[in-house]
Chain A
Amino acid sequence: MALLQIAEPDAAPAQRAQRLAVGIDLGTTNSLVATVRRGIPVVLPDAEGRPLLPSIVHFGAHGVEVGYAARDALVADPQNTIVSVKRLMGRGLADLSDARRFPYRFIDSPGMVRIETRAGVRTPVEVSSEILESLRVRAEASLGGALAGAVVTVPAYFDDAQRQATKDAARLAGLNVLRLLNEPTAAAIAYGLDNESEGIYAVYDLGGGTFDLSLLKLSRGVFEVLATAGDTALGGDDFDHRIYCWALEAARIGPVSPSDTRLLLIKAREAKESLTTHASTPLFATLSTGERIDLMLSAETSTTITATLVGKTLLPVRKALRDAKLAPQDIDGVVMVGGATRMPQIQKAVAGFFGAPPLNNLDPDQVVALGAAIQANVLAGNRATDEDWLLLDVIPLSLGLETMGGLTEKIVPRNATVPITRAQEFTTFKDGQTAMAIQVVQGERERVADCRSLARFELRGIPPMVAGAARIRVTFQIDADGLLSVSAREQTTGIEAAVTVKPSYGLADTDIARMLEDSQAHAADDMEARARTEAQVEAERILAATKSALDADGDLLDARQKAAIDAAMTTVRERLAGADRHALQAAVVALNRATEQFATQRMDRSVAGALAGRSVDVLARD
């Protein structure tokens, strides 16, 4: 028989507390936060029990709203309601082939596009951080404490600038980023650990705005990514847009306002979702101009108008297979991830290509967040003894250097397993040369101009020597997040050359530092201002309600009651003008208390009024 163990009073519990860690899927359309509870990964819902947070941020007249509240402002205030911000991360205006699709006032600036909103100019990093902040607050409320860290997922095909932007957004939201994890890999963890699978799997991940295809080998608890390919500007959004274009054409309607565009895109999305379970669906809308759209969209038409998009997803599938030197029949299973994979035409195309029905066992909206939560739990140091799995991921794009004549020299090929260290030696071109500039690019093309410039950095402090005598060893390091860092050393003298990396895209560290300072300095002010506004709105609402009650039923009150309510109202009115929010809230509470009795009396009267005129026998029969 076990003896009960009794701890000494006040002694600290011997057991180490679980460190609170979450996985966050920062999606184009929806975002989620998940954690591991008693060994089981679970999505953390909001206070209303909804697991998803729409990735929408509204810069409204009374502050910032995120999620469902922001979604409600989509049609009324399209220019200040930011959707699909993920498509803008780490991107300049020139990169956005579909910029005109967004109703925003874009400002082109070196590095990343910025958006002019009611609240001022915002970078995509800041907009994303609002979403992440909202998820952090949700998780902390749900778990009852501050988070030790988070794993944030990114599309596997995100380049360095897009990854860096995502990490910056998480830092800005007050998160300690344990790891950036590729979305298809996260899905594979959730799926593989759930099914104890072995073999080669393809993860087909079609999200709201991005497409990834990863090939993984699962063996003896190792998840090894063999190859990944994708398109960071292809997703469910594009299918909505195709249906939207079809609707305008079919209804013979010309260009529409940003509000009507938003309305029609919402209708297009609803139609797309309805076609998952129906053979045809109505698409009905009344535009602000009074024009009406009243159409039927059949599954067949939908398949025809989106065939190009479906075909576009198969290109990266072929590329990844080629890179991994595999054929479709070598794949043991295809895991479907992302809400957009619910579309029947996608299911059919994938089944056709691989010659086998794809796997849909786990909720395609949640599987990425669940996998991220499992990884976060392990990275935070909560690994259980039986959890001995390991993840080996790759970089999606080759890394190269600019050489003479604007050509690239590859130093790290795509699909190389991270982390990676590569050293390259450079020498000087002139006698006494003490500095040189090196350009790092990411991409598969031969010419520098066709690749994405990652960083341009200068080496300074090279000891003066004759031309060609210096041996400068530059080390490129890609960490487990897939992010690049650079260091340099002159070999003959051992002098460390100073490296300043100027990111060509994304934000410089000083920008991030400034944003962090701004947000911390202003956070307290912002919250106070918002709380005051809310208190004022509430006070005005109560005053108006009390006044109309007095007008209707003031005769119910005796003089003493009437005087008490009048006095309470006067206090609220006086404090409404003042700056003291707490005093105002106290006055509102007092007014509510003063009218409690009055409210009961009014209720009695209205019940009596409703009963008046009916005879006693009628009431008895009822």
Chain B
Amino acid sequence: MIDFSQDYFALFGLPPRYRFDPQALELAYHTLQRAVHPDRHASGDDAERRLALQSSARVNEAYQALKDPVVRAQYLLSLRGIDALAETDTALPMEFLQRELERREAMAEAQARGDPGGLEALLQQVRADAAALQAALADRLDGETWNAAREAVRELRFLTKVAADLEAAIAEGEG
């Protein structure tokens, strides 16, 4: 049904680049799922149904990976044998860490005084920073400056986690 040895980009017939057309990805995703989804093979025999399940899960996995800005970057690096998030190499620039430490403190304070507006403002800031970082990352990846890209991936992942924590804090405040 589908070739499981293909990389995610090849699976969707897309060039292996960071910047890409999300509409083209979605269209390719829908086209593939129309062919392999278990609902399309519900009246088949056991083997056909098992294969549909595996293929459809693989297409979902590939789609999720390419849609996510951090995972897509990591994946592009991994295709070149670079592990962006290796545990032996977790260094982040001092200045970045300093800023994030302050942000953490601001978040804790806003939470302590029950200030959803403050948390919301922090979230907007983090999202803006992440968007800027993502643009820089795109330049580095598509310009094939791998080491600089690796650092940006780590920072972006960090910011994603901060944003997720802020969202959770806001949600908790809402009850």
Is B truly associated with A? yes
Q: Which B26-74 residues have C-beta < 8 A from chain A?
A: 30, 33-34, 37-40, 42-43, 53-54, 56-58, 60-61, 63-64
A479 within 8 A of B: yes
Whether A381 and B38, one on each chain, are in contact in the complex, defined by CB atoms closer than 8 angstroms, is no
Residues on A with beta carbons closer than 8 Å to the beta carbon of B39? 179, 375, 378-379, 390-391, 480
A137 to B146, CA, bound (A): 65
Residues on A with beta carbons closer than 8 Å to the beta carbon of B174? 315, 318
Residues on B with beta carbons closer than 8 Å to the beta carbon of A477? 53, 57
A248 within 8 A of B: no
Write out, one digit per residue, whether chain A residues 330-365 have a CB within 8 A of any chain B CB (1) or not (0). 000000000000000000000000000000000000
Q: Which B118-175 residues have C-beta < 8 A from chain A?
A: 167, 170-171, 174-175
A278 within 8 A of B: no
Write out, one digit per residue, whether chain A residues 478-490 have a CB within 8 A of any chain B CB (1) or not (0). 0110000000000
Whether A421 and B57, one on each chain, are in contact in the complex, defined by CB atoms closer than 8 angstroms, is yes
Residue of B at shortest CB range from A148? B43
Whether A222 and B30, one on each chain, are in contact in the complex, defined by CB atoms closer than 8 angstroms, is yes
A522 within 8 A of B: no
Write out, one digit per residue, whether chain A residues 301-334 have a CB within 8 A of any chain B CB (1) or not (0). 0000000000000010011001000000000000
A498 within 8 A of B: no
A287 within 8 A of B: no
Shortest CB–CB separation between residue B36 and chain A, in angstroms? 10
A318 to B61, CA, bound (A): 27
Shortest CB–CB separation between residue A56 and chain B, in angstroms? 32
Residues on B with beta carbons closer than 8 Å to the beta carbon of A380? 42-43
Whether A381 and B54, one on each chain, are in contact in the complex, defined by CB atoms closer than 8 angstroms, is no
Shortest CB–CB separation between residue A23 and chain B, in angstroms? 14
Residues on A with beta carbons closer than 8 Å to the beta carbon of B63? 417
Q: If the complex has contacts A222-B30, A417-B64, are A480 and B58 also in contact, measured as CB distance less than 8 A?
A: no
Most A CB atoms within 10 A — which of B39, B40, B53? Answer: B39
Whether A319 and B57, one on each chain, are in contact in the complex, defined by CB atoms closer than 8 angstroms, is no
A479 to B37, CA, bound (A): 11
Whether A379 and B43, one on each chain, are in contact in the complex, defined by CB atoms closer than 8 angstroms, is yes
Whether A390 and B37, one on each chain, are in contact in the complex, defined by CB atoms closer than 8 angstroms, is yes
A2 to B110, CA, bound (A): 81
Write out, one digit per residue, whether chain A residues 394-416 have a CB within 8 A of any chain B CB (1) or not (0). 00000000000000000000001
A420 within 8 A of B: yes
Whether B58 and A421, one on each chain, are in contact in the complex, defined by CB atoms closer than 8 angstroms, is yes
A381 to B64, CA, bound (A): 30
Residues on B with beta carbons closer than 8 Å to the beta carbon of A222? 30, 33-34
Shortest CB–CB separation between residue A473 and chain B, in angstroms? 15
A619 to B97, CA, bound (A): 109
A206 to B38, CA, bound (A): 29
A419 within 8 A of B: yes
Shortest CB–CB separation between residue B57 and chain A, in angstroms? 4
Q: If the complex has contacts A220-B30, A390-B30, A390-B33, are A479 and B175 also in contact, measured as CB distance less than 8 A?
A: no
Whether A419 and B53, one on each chain, are in contact in the complex, defined by CB atoms closer than 8 angstroms, is yes
A333 to B150, CA, bound (A): 42
Residue of B at shortest CB range from A422? B61
Residue of B at shortest CB range from A217? B26
Shortest CB–CB separation between residue B99 and chain A, in angstroms? 24
Residues on B with beta carbons closer than 8 Å to the beta carbon of A388? 34
Q: 8 A-B Cβ contacts within 8 A?
A: A178-B42, A179-B42, A318-B171, A378-B39, A390-B33, A417-B63, A419-B38, A420-B61
Report B's interface with A, CB cutoff 8 A. Answer: 30, 33-34, 37-40, 42-43, 53-54, 56-58, 60-61, 63-64, 167, 170-171, 174-175
